[in-house]
Amino acid sequence: MLTKLVQLLVLITATHTAFALEPILGSEQKIYNTQESKDHWLILGAIQRISGSLKPEAETRLQANVTQWLWKLPEGHNSQEGFNTLKAQLSKQTTTLFECKGRECGLSNDFANQVFKQSILYGRDSDQYYWAGLSDGRKPSVWVIYTSQRSAKRVYGYVQKIELNKGEVDKLDGFVQQGLAQTLFDQGYIVLSKLGDETLLRDAQIQWLKSLLKENPNERFALVVHRYGGMENQALIERTQLQADGLLDQVAKAGGFIKNLYAHGGGAMLPRANLNDRIELVVLKK
pLDDT digits (tens, 9 = 90+) for 199-227: 888 888 898 899 999 999 999 999 999 99
In this structure, of 151-160, 173-182, 216-225, 245-254, the range with the lowest mean pLDDT score is 173-182
Q: Are 280 and 184 in contact (CB under 8 A)?
A: no
Q: Cα(141)–Cα(144) distance, rounded to whole angstroms?
A: 10
In this structure, of 2-6, 8-12, 140-144, 263-267, the range with the lowest mean pLDDT score is 8-12
Q: Residues 43-68: what's their mean pLDDT?
A: 93
Q: Residues 76-80: what's their mean pLDDT?
A: 95
The count of other CB atoms within 10 Å of the CB of residue 197 is 5
Average pLDDT of the chain? 87
pLDDT digits (tens, 9 = 90+) for 9-53: 222 223 333 346 899 999 999 999 999 999 999 999 999 988 888
Q: Are 280 and 192 in contact (CB under 8 A)?
A: yes
pLDDT band at 136; cut points 50, 70, 90:
low
The pLDDT value recorded for residue 83 is 97
Domains, the chain, ordered by start: 28-169 (3.40.1000), 188-284 (3.30.1330.60)
The pLDDT value recorded for residue 111 is 97
Q: Assess whether pLDDT exceeds 90 at residue 286.
A: no
Write down the number of H helices and E strands in the chain: 5, 12
Q: Cα(1)–Cα(177) distance, rounded to whole angstroms?
A: 5
pLDDT digits (tens, 9 = 90+) for 226-275: 998 878 889 999 999 999 999 999 999 999 999 999 999 998 887 776 67
Q: Residues 190-196: what's their mean pLDDT?
A: 82
Q: Assess whether pLDDT exceeds 50 at residue 5.
A: no
Q: Are 111 and 152 in contact (CB under 8 A)?
A: no
For residue 194, give the DSSP letter. Answer: E
- Report the candidate in 68, 84, 87, 76 with the shortest Cα–Cα distance to residue 27: 76
Q: Assess whether pLDDT exceeds 70 at residue 285.
A: yes
Q: Cα(248)–Cα(269) distance, rounded to whole angstroms?
A: 20
